[in-house]
Structure 1
Amino acid sequence: MMKLIWMVLFLNVPIFGFSQSSDLVFLRGKVISASKEVKDINVINLRSQNSTITNDNGNYSLFVKIGDTLQFSGWQTRTKNHVIHEADLSKKLLVLHLEPQAIPLDEVTIIDYKNINAVSLGILEKPAKKYTPAERKLKVAKDFDVGFYEIMVPNIFFSIDPIINAISGRTAALKKDLEIERKQAVIKNIEILYNDTFFIEKLKIPSDYVKGFLFYVSDSEELKKVLPTKNKTKIEFVLVKLSKEYLQISKQ
């Protein structure tokens, strides 16, 4: 009797093993990659041809058997095949690493067409004026006032800016900002050409008065005309004359 029982058990071993390998198992998996691009990776069972794609986190699921080969492919990862083993099915989540794939780009040639601009294309008759930040704010304020009231009162073709500005003082403030900006530009250009030693030793301006002198000369129309020429002889001639005026005023 015992021999018969052992014989039955012996005969059932291979049958039991075969049934395990042929059973379909619902597999949950996840792919990871250094490129961080794990969405929409194609996952195909090469035996059954069943397929799916990964979600935003790289997760996927499908039915497999032991011995099935899963193929993973994506446009930013190298294609990878993985054979399902019994150990894979014992895991709650099968995690596989995919190698990132560099995408070759066609050569790009950048050509600088220096002579093509709005004027050469006939869009503008002459180059557009470049505005400083303060100039742009003042222009926008004026354009807004005129445009707004032409819309509200379309049959009246005059600007009522003076009335609005008398109430808000907006344009006056913007003009003041523009004046300060232009003064700062003149001072900056002078400081690029000369250091404090020039003002103190050659023009005899006391060191404590150098900044005040620069602010004083920033109003000079004569200096504004010669500064763009970068002609230091002409600029120094004007500065010497202005320094004498400034020193005379300082003594009063």
Structure 2
Amino acid sequence: MQEIVVSNETVLNKAVLVKLNEQVNQLDTVIVGKILTGDLLSDIKNTKGDRPLNFFDVGIPGYTGRIATINERQLSEASGFNPGLGSSGYGLGASVGFTPIINAISGRTKMLKRRVKIEQKDGLMHSIKSRLGKDFFASNPLDEDKQMDFFYFCSDDANFIKYCKNQNDFKVLVFLRMKYKQYLENIKP
């Protein structure tokens, strides 16, 4: 601790020179909050807290199915058929608004169906790549810059969905191996 006497000279100079002495305190260990081990299962068990509220907790109905993608929602809107709408006791008791008719005539519905199909193929391709890509290329060497091109080549096959969707990994690998041979033939100089 240092004491400084303020004199008239100090006030006139409007400055005080203070020399600081360095003092270092070193602590062995500092623990802030919970100790995390890196093992997720044990770390979750050691934490306290309530799970977030959901619609079941408050007694309101909610949707628990798969959430539709933007393209799937747009397709649903574009081709909307609403049974019971506009029923007046005549005919079928269902009606179709002008928007679905215009979308069908203009080709928008067809375009949205193509988008949904492409989105599904792309999702399946990325799923296969992340699940099986590393192991596949370990036994079937291909330059890293050509690997993504290979997966696009596979997804362009007319039978891609048939051989890869809802199939076990072995069947998918058989398909990839067949496409690998074709791909190598295609890229030969």
Alignment TM class, shorter chain as reference: 0.3 to 0.5
Q: Which has more strand, going by share of residues?
A: 1
TM-score, reference length from structure 2: 0.47
